[in-house]
Amino acid sequence: MLAPEVQAALAAIVGQDRVLTAAEDRQLYASDETPRACAPEAVVFPQSHEEVAAIVRLANRHRLPLTPRAAGSGNVGGALPTPGSVVVSFECMDRVLEFNPDDRLIVVEPGMVTETVDRLALTAGLMYAPDPGSGAYCRIGGNLAMNAAGPRCVKYGATREHVLGLRAVLGDGREIRTGARTTKYATGYDLTRLLVGSEGTLALITEATLRLIPAPERVANLRVCYASNAAACAAVARVMRQPVLPSALEFMDRRSIEAIRAHGGAEGLPAGTQAVLMVAADGAYDDVPRQVEALARALEGEGLLEIQSGFTPEEMARLWTARKSLSHAVKSIAPLKINEDVVVPVSRLGALVEAIDRLGEAHRVPLVAFGHAGNGNLHVNLMVHADDVDEMARARACRQALIDTVLRLGGTLSGEHGIGSEKRAFLAQALDADTLALMRELKRLFDPLGILNPGKKLPD
Ligand SMILES: Cc1cc2nc3c(=O)[nH]c(=O)nc-3n(C[C@H](O)[C@H](O)[C@H](O)COP(=O)(O)OP(=O)(O)OC[C@H]3O[C@@H](n4cnc5c(N)ncnc54)[C@H](O)[C@@H]3O)c2cc1C
């Protein structure tokens, strides 16, 4: 229970109606997309930078842990409250502070929904490139904290490449401003890059200056079917070696296709399809057909069954049908999905996919792999039943073996979902001791009392 004087002090900062303490309200903020829950002591909804700073100062006085939260769509427990913590929800900080097409930038509060930024940019012929699959509801603060990415990032880069500057509150309540309003910046240390991906453990972001780029005049899609995982992975390597960079290069493995078939979503896929690539091209109107031709040439090779291209919205929607049905299809394999988000160099993708097949069989755990192949980033889903003790033990062993394999292949733990509470046990394996020690020192410098999102990112 929150001490009455702390509750009153929070209410004095944001107003009584923006502090929730009722059990049913706290329960709504008890989890993100991870299958764990811990109700916070209270949920507070600041509406300005100044209110956030006042909350952090109050938390310092009372040694109150704070759990920042945007939309709660994260899948590593980043926004999962730690026991005794207060959730700082950024939902009420969702204003556009400045939209400046001449300087190709937009300044927003962290509660702004991601797709809203892109839609607004489009009104001036511009684009906010990061496009996470959750873009219709996740928020910029969560994207910044996780360095979110999406299909377009193979061409345009992840969130980090689209941030010019930040305003934030450190763990002791001080305000910092990082970066600039310009696309070139060589002044001081690059704290913007440090804060992006810091998962709310170093500072609470209260304002972001985001970089906008010209929107493409046209987009086209290709759906490419292969007779094996290996054939599709070889095609990914060929595409990434030639000069036309696709604006999406997504992969679905054999198990994904099996799940889609079982779920009735494989209509139109040729017989014998074991792996599919979804590829996109974008750019100037007349240039897109040329790009599609070049990509199709690179996609041709051993094991190719079919290439279909789509230029109109209807054609593109039809080609994406199988991919769109994947989430539901996967859920029908088993109720619990343990989602890994591993990345390897693109040249090792084939080796990773082969290893995933082997690990699934060896540990008798269904593994479904799909994702952003152009970045070497696969979502490997271990499909399990939480109440099956034996299966859960096999899944744990399988997960460890997967991480070992990824690190051996020169890869890393997460491409876009982050570490949160769920993956920090593996961090010491992925980073050397001195690097990890420096990260702990940074944490102490930014957040001396350790009140910002404790239990996340770094191992205890
Ligand atoms: C269906 C689905 C599809 C998805 N697809 C993708 C995808 O394609 N690409 C991808 O990258 N991710 C994807 N995700 C994961 C998730 O949507 C992203 O991690 C997203 O960036 C989280 O945003 P959020 O607003 O939900 O943040 P939350 O989950 O609320 O929080 C995420 C982290 O940000 C911190 N945080 C929030 N606000 C602030 C702030 N103002 N200051 C400091 N820290 C803050 C939180 O403490 C937490 O650590 C997907 C998730 C789902 C459910």
Last residue of a domain, one of 286, 307, 327: 327
pLDDT at 412: 96
Token pair for residue 26? 């706290």
CATH of the domain at 66: 3.30.43.10
Here the CATH number for the domain that contains residue 366 is 3.30.70.2740
Residue 189: what are its φ and ψ, rounded to 5°?
-75, 155
Other C-beta atoms within 10 Å of 224: how many?
Answer: 26
116 and 170 inside one domain = yes
The pLDDT value recorded for residue 264 is 86
pLDDT-derived band at 323 (thresholds 50, 70, 90) equals: confident
Percent of residues in the chain assigned helix, strand, coil, to nearest 5:
40, 25, 40
pLDDT at 367: 96
**Helices 229-241 and 288-299 sit at what angle, rounded to 10 degrees?**
130
pLDDT-derived band of residue 448, with 50, 70 and 90 as boundaries? very high
120 pLDDT higher than 90? yes
Residue 455 covered by a domain? no
Distance CA 336, CA 457 (A): 23
| Residue 269 confidence (pLDDT) above 90 | yes
Structural domain boundaries, residue 235 = 218-327
Q: Distance of CA 375 to CAs 178, 307, 369, 412, Å? A: 28, 21, 14, 12
Q: Mention every residue, 6+ apart, whose C-beta is less than 8 A from residue 183.
A: 104, 164, 211
CA of 112 to the centre of ligand 1 (A): 12
Among 29, 45, 69, 443, which is best to mutate for testing ligand 1, by the most ligand atoms less than 8 A from CB?
Answer: 69
Cα gap 182→398, rounded to integer Å? 46
Look at ligand 1, atom 1, and give the residue with the nearest C-alpha. 134
Q: Say if 456 falls within a structural domain.
A: no
pLDDT band, very low/low/confident/very high, at 267 (cuts 50, 70, 90) = confident
pLDDT (tens digit, 9 = 90+) per residue, 403-440?
A: 999 999 999 999 999 999 999 999 999 999 999 999 99
Alpha carbon nearest to ligand 1 atom 27, residue? 142
Mean pLDDT within 370-388:
96
331, pLDDT greater than 90 = no
CA of 69 to the centre of ligand 1 (A): 9
Same domain, 45 and 125: no
Same domain membership, residue 362 and residue 346: yes
Best probe residue, ligand 1, of 48, 109, 131, 134 (max atoms within 8 Å of C-beta):
134
Q: Which atom of ligand 1 is nearest to the CA of 457?
A: 49
Atom of ligand 1 nearest to the CA of 131: 8
Under the banding of pLDDT at 50, 70 and 90, the label for residue 460 is confident
* Whether residues 110 and 209 fall in one domain: yes
Of all protein residues, the one whose alpha carbon is nearest to atom 39 of ligand 1 is 141
Do 197 and 170 have their domain in common?
A: yes
pLDDT bin (cut points 50, 70, 90) of residue 328 is: confident
When pLDDT is cut at 50, 70 and 90, the band that residue 39 belongs to is very high
Can you give the pLDDT at residue 36? 92
Q: From start to end of 262-319, where are the E strands? A: 275-283, 304-310
Q: Whose CA is nearest to atom 21 of ligand 1?
A: 143
Q: For a pLDDT cut of 90, what percent of the chain falls above it?
A: 95
Average pLDDT over residues 391-401: 97
Ligand 1 pocket: which of 38, 49, 51, 73 to mutate (most atoms within 8 A of CB): 73
Residue 101 lies in a domain: yes
Compute, in angstroms, the gap from residue 135 CA to the centroid of ligand 1: 9
User: pLDDT tens, 184-216?
Assistant: 999 999 999 999 999 999 999 999 999 999 999
Rounded mean pLDDT of 256-261?
94
Query: How far does residue 132's CA lie from ligand 1's centre (Å)?
Result: 9
Q: Is residue 116 part of a domain?
A: yes
Pocket of ligand 1 (CB under 6 A): 32-33, 68-75, 78-79, 90, 110, 132-134, 138-139, 141-143, 145-146, 148-150, 199-200, 204-205, 416-417, 453, 456
pLDDT for 47 beyond 90: yes
Phi, psi torsion values for 379, nearest 5 degrees: -90, 110
Confidence of residue 324 (pLDDT cuts 50, 70, 90): confident
Same domain, 53 and 68: yes
Give the pLDDT mean for 122-133: 97
Closest to 295 measured CA to CA, from 285, 282, 281, 306: 281
Domain end point (choices 33, 60, 89)? 89
Same structural domain, 125 and 180: yes
Q: What is the pLDDT of residues 286-297, one digit of tens each?
A: 999 999 999 999
CATH code: domain of residue 134: 3.30.465.10
Same domain for 279 and 207 = no
Ligand 1 atom index nearest CA of 168: 42
What pLDDT score does 60 carry? Answer: 97
> How close is the Cα of 142 to the center of ligand 1, in Å?
4
The pLDDT assigned to 444 comes to 98
SS3 state at 341: strand
Query: What tens digit of pLDDT does each residue of 55-81 get?
Result: 999 999 999 999 999 999 999 999 999
In a domain, 47, yes or no: yes
Region 385-395: what's the mean pLDDT? 96
CA 73 to ligand 1 centroid distance, Å: 5
42-81 in b/e form (b: 16+ CB < 10 A) is bbbbbbebebbbbbbebbbeeebbbbbbbbbbbbbbbbbb
| Residue 351: pLDDT over 90 | yes
Q: Quote the pLDDT of residue 122.
A: 98
Mutate to test the pocket of ligand 1, among 146, 163, 447 (most ligand atoms within 8 A of CB): 146
Distance between Cα 298 and ligand 1 center (Å) = 34
Q: How many domains does the chain have?
A: 4
- Secondary structure letter of residue 215 according to DSSP: P
**Nearest CA residue ID for atom 36, ligand 1:** 142
Q: What does the pLDDT read at residue 322? A: 86
The CA 199 to ligand 1 mean position distance, Å, reads 9
Answer yes or no: pTM beyond 0.95: yes
CATH of the domain at 231: 3.30.70.2190
Cβ(192)–Cβ(166) below 8 Å: yes
Which residue minimizes the CA distance to atom 16 of ligand 1?
74
Q: Compute the distance from residue 147 Cα to the ligand 1 centre, in Å.
A: 9
